[in-house]
Amino acid sequence: MSKKYIISGGKQLSGAIEIGGAKNAILPILAATFMCEGPVVLHNCPRINDVYNMLSILSKLGCNVNWCGEHSLKIDTVDANSWEMPDKLAKQLRSSIFMLGPIVARFKKAYFSYPGGCEIGVRPIDLHLKGLRELNVEIEEKHGHIMCKADDMRGADISLDYPSVGATENIMMAATLAKGDTTISNAAREPEIVDLQNFLNACGAKVYGAGSSTIYVRGGRTLKGVEHTLIPDRIAAGTYLVATAITQGEADIKNVVPEHMSALISKLREADCKIYTDKDIIHIKGPKRPLEMRIIETLPYPGFPTDMQAQIFTFACIAEGTSVVVENVFDNRFKHVSELTRMGANITVKDRTAIIRGVETLTGTEVFAKDLRGGAALVLAGLRAEGTTTVNGISFIDRGYECLCENLQKLGAQIEKT
């Protein structure tokens, strides 16, 4: 039987929790270890399903992977012997596409199936393939598979049509082993890209400009093994901030980088949350009832993150007045709407825009998670709702949150996994 959360709503959250390493940072860094000629030790690694799946991929490719502590990993790729992506694992994990650049860079060829993951809309890998083609990689797409050949991979000036995080990272990784220099224009600017740059440079690469819209890579480097500590997960931290606010609670969220969360903090303050930041701590006190947030538009960083849209959406459901959410990044990321409506939310959706008329209370019922962040949003709704909420399909949630149930229990939530 599948696992589920049982939540008794109405408990104010209080206390403090610490945030672990970022899901969106560790996955490309795990892929990048494939290019290293010595062992890599990564610290602050989250124990989540997406990480387990990526480690399975590395193991299938011949790498030696071991946990060497509660949140530390040792990866040795010296015995890697395969350039073919395992079909089954690739279909379980969207981020398997991160392996494309490193495999091509190391073996000069690769054979991939199209990746899977949450069905949150069209997430084309065209930009990944276009970038690799510009690095002089020959690519053939046939029968759901991608075949790559790179006998003479060379640096290039690459301009992305859209600041795709994954494409930026894939091109960065491949370009470190290509001959010559590469410039990536209209690059994504997310903090996780800066973390990847820092990891690559510690290994011996020469990458500059991450965090800006132009990244420079000096190719032809040899990458050695290093130790690296991952940045904290800004999306997990944001989820706990909203959980505290939606329950009228007060908590300290520790081991965070407040600057990475400016867009979310701004919206929470607009809703009348009291927020104070101090180095690596965010203190939040939620209002009795939030004020409307007039418009929330998801945008590439430093705009409001699409990975926090569902959570802030739930918060808006119990706000005074009307809030508007516009999803600009993915075209199928309102799957939580039907479930929130069953809990009493008043929502109207047209294409990529949702109009949310806040209600005083939500009512507990049985709901179903349909993707990672939407599942987390339903948990937040259950924390606020009157009565009992059952959240099914929590395997989606386990893809991206470590110990969500236990952390919420630490803050006083009445939630259990069954």
Residues assigned a catalytic role: 118
CA distances to 115, 215, 345, 413 from 387, rounded to whole Å, are: 39, 51, 15, 13
| Rounded to 5°, angle at Cα 253 from 249 and 255 | 175
Give residues with Cβ within 8 angstroms of 291, minimum separation 6. Answer: 270, 271, 272, 319, 320, 321
Cβ atoms of 396 and 50 within 8 Å: the answer is no
Largest Cα–Cα distance of the chain, in whole Å?
Answer: 63
**Residue 124 dihedral angles phi and psi, to the nearest 5°:** -65, 145
Comparing CA positions, the residue from 185, 346, 256 lying closest to residue 18 is: 256
Structure tokens at 250: 């007060």
For residue 276, the cross-strand partners are 283
Q: What separation, in Å, do the N-terminal and C-terminal C-alpha atoms of the chain show? A: 10
| Beta pairing partners, 355 | 324, 348
Cis peptide before 115 (omega within 30 of 0): no
What span, in angstroms and rounded, lies between the C-alpha atoms of 90 and 209? Answer: 30
- C-beta of residue 356 within 8 angstroms of C-beta of residue 313: yes
Tokens found for residue 133: 């083609």
- Residue 308 CB neighbours (<10 A): 25
Phi/psi at 21 (5° precision): -70, 155
**Structure-token pair, residue 143:** 């029968």
Specify whether the CB–CB gap between 416 and 6 falls below 8 A: yes
> Which backbone phi and psi does 10 adopt, to 5 degrees?
95, 5
Residue for token pair 């030696």: 64
Cα–Cα distance measured from residue 373 to residue 376, given in angstroms and rounded to the nearest whole number:
5
- Cα distance between residue 11 and residue 389, in whole Å: 13
